[in-house]
Amino acid sequence: MIVIFVLLAPLLFSAQAQVASLRGQVTDQNGAIVVGAKVTARGSSGYVKSTTTDSGGSYSLTNLPTGEYLIEATAPSLVLQEPVKITLKSGTQVVNLQLSVFIPEQKITIQENNRTTVSTDANANASAQVLRGDDLDALGDSPEDLQEALMALAGPSAGPTADKFSSMVQRRATAVEGLDS
């Protein structure tokens, strides 16, 4: 039995010696910890293992085969400038990572085909009141009556435009009066 143990012991110890661990902390360029960052170890043999940082910004990758690795880390709007190259040996190694702000390129396209047009056409104006035929005959004959009727149709107005509107109505009333003669 002792002979078997002596023969198998080197195999057991060499298998344990080929396992590595990697741990560290992820921060941003200002030194603040980054919670929830994804840390990935990519081995040259194709082995890939990932984890996310905890509430303290720390990560730990265990049971990694020894060998050459690229260590990458990302978080929303943060990126590692370039992967860290490392040779993992048996035992635990520490690699702290610093992420930088990354703003992805954005492309905005503006199209000019949705132009709104301005029109004096009464059909294109939802609030227009068009007076025709009998509606015109119902207006007063004197300039004062016409002005009063048109002001009532226009609704209450305030400010400097009220005087401008009033003088416009008076001119039109005078013009209508001139047509009647």
Q: What's the pLDDT score for residue 179?
A: 54
Q: Is the pLDDT of residue 63 over 60?
A: yes
The reported pLDDT for the residue numbered 135 is 75
Residue 152 pLDDT: 76
Are 81 and 97 within 8 A, CB to CB?
no
Whether pLDDT at 92 is above 50: yes
Domain boundaries, the chain: 16-101, 128-180
CA-CA distance, 175 to 68, in Å (whole number)? 96
Angle at 12 between CA 14 and CA 88, to 5 degrees: 35
Long-range contacts: 153-161, Cβ < 8 Å, 24+? 153/129
| pTM for the full predicted model | 0.51
Mean predicted confidence (pLDDT) in 114-128: 67
- Look at residue 46 and tell me whether its pLDDT is greater than 50: yes
Give the largest CA-CA distance in the chain: 137
Share of the chain above pLDDT 90, in %: 44
| Per CATH, domain 16-101 is 2.60.40.1180 | no
Distance CA 56, CA 25 (A): 8
DSSP-assigned beta bridge partners for residue 98: 27
Residues 95/85, Cβ–Cβ less than 8 Å: no
- Determine the average pLDDT of the residues in 163-169: 57
For the chain, what's the residue count? Answer: 181
